[in-house]
Amino acid sequence: MPLTPSALSAFVAQHQLPDTYLAFANAHFSPLLTWAQAAKSPQILGINGSQGSGKSTLAAWLVAALTDQGIPALALSMDDFYLGKAARTLLANRVHPLLGTRGVPGTHDVARAIEVLDALKECKTPIIPRFDKAIDDCVPASHLEPLHHPVKIIVLEGWCLGAQPQAEAALMHPINALERDEDQQGQWRSWVNRQLAQTYQAWFQRVDRWVMLRAPSFECVAQWRWQQEQKLWQKHKLAGMLQQTDHRGGSTTSGLMTREQVQRFVQYYERLTTHMLHEMPDRVEHLYQLDDRRNIIHEHHRSHGALR
């Protein structure tokens, strides 16, 4: 069922989308709504996709469409479970300097994520953490509120959601300049791989159904991520936040990046993104193959392990 006109207008405006997105979503994502509508108890839908692939927009559309139909739903991002600056600084000092940058497995509060998801599946109303990328830090607990009511569908999205660890042999050689120059001994990538193999699998096991927005290649990701960053700049400009101070007295734009910084930033994600592009499609119920403009050029939907 498409969104009502009022809900449609609000969704498009909030997410700075062309009107064509609604027709696009209705054409391709109705199997996800059908699954959600049939849920008898709280369910978690997991969306995997590289940076800039459209997973957060899809999550928001699903929540808007379900809410419009009277089905309480909530969108969560792995990003909101990032460790704060202080915790990442500690990791950078104790384990490896590259862990000061958010993103890879090992830079999330996995225990908190599991606690929140388990509470939601038990029809509770936990406090949902948030991460502010503009300041590269967690939103203070004093600024957070618990949910007002239980939800039926939890849409969880993340760039490495559902990822499997690599074989040790695959970690031996660097795959980009960041690894070659700043992880010469492979300590960082090996530590990240261990985190993925251990605590993260318990997190991912909470997901009931899987979606993948599959990029055509990693080469598209840097451009998509830069487009994403431009939206963040525009969002904060419209909100009048540029050159102001945050609750800690720091610049609100300290976490926003230039194009050159984005090019470096995506190298942190390259190894695992490339790995998932190859190994994950066979494990998901809903696979959407994208082209370099994020058009869906092919899709598969599985039921009980068989394509349908």
- Is 235 within 8 Å of 114 (Cβ atoms)? no
Q: Which domain holds residue 28?
A: 5-307
What's the chain's average pLDDT? 90
The span from the CA of 289 to the CA of 295, in Å, is 8
pTM: 0.89
Average of per-residue pLDDT across 18-23: 86
> pLDDT tens-digit profile of 75-91?
999 999 999 999 999 99
The span from the CA of 109 to the CA of 81, in Å, is 5
**Edge-first strand listing for the sheet containing 73-77:** 73-77, 153-158, 43-49, 209-214, 286-290, 296-303, 306-307
Q: Which residues pair with 286 in a beta bridge?
A: 211, 301
At 244, the pLDDT band (50, 70, 90 cuts) reads very low
β-strands 153-158, 137-138: how paired?
Answer: unpaired
> pLDDT tens-digit profile of 202-235?
999 999 999 999 999 998 988 888 887 887 777 7
Q: 66-103 burial by CB neighbour count: b if 16+ within 10 A, else e? A: bbbeebebbbbbbbbbbbbbeebeebeeeebebbeebb
> pLDDT tens-digit profile of 164-189?
999 999 999 999 999 999 999 999 99
Backbone dihedral angles phi then psi of residue 34, each to the nearest 5 degrees: -60, -45
Backbone dihedral angles phi then psi of residue 194, each to the nearest 5 degrees: -65, -40
Closest C-alpha to 22, from 56, 57, 50: 57
At 17, the pLDDT band (50, 70, 90 cuts) reads confident
Q: Residue 170 belongs to a domain with what CATH number?
A: 3.40.50.300
β-strands 137-138, 131-132: how paired?
Answer: antiparallel
Give me the torsion for CA of 148, 109, 160, 115, rounded to 10°: -50
pLDDT on residue 123: 97
Q: Which residue has the tokens 């261990």?
A: 194
pLDDT on residue 306: 39
296 has pLDDT over 50: yes
pLDDT on residue 238: 56
> pLDDT tens-digit profile of 43-83?
999 999 998 899 999 999 999 999 999 999 999 999 999 99
155 has pLDDT over 60: yes
pLDDT on residue 305: 44
Domain count, the chain: 1
pLDDT on residue 249: 36
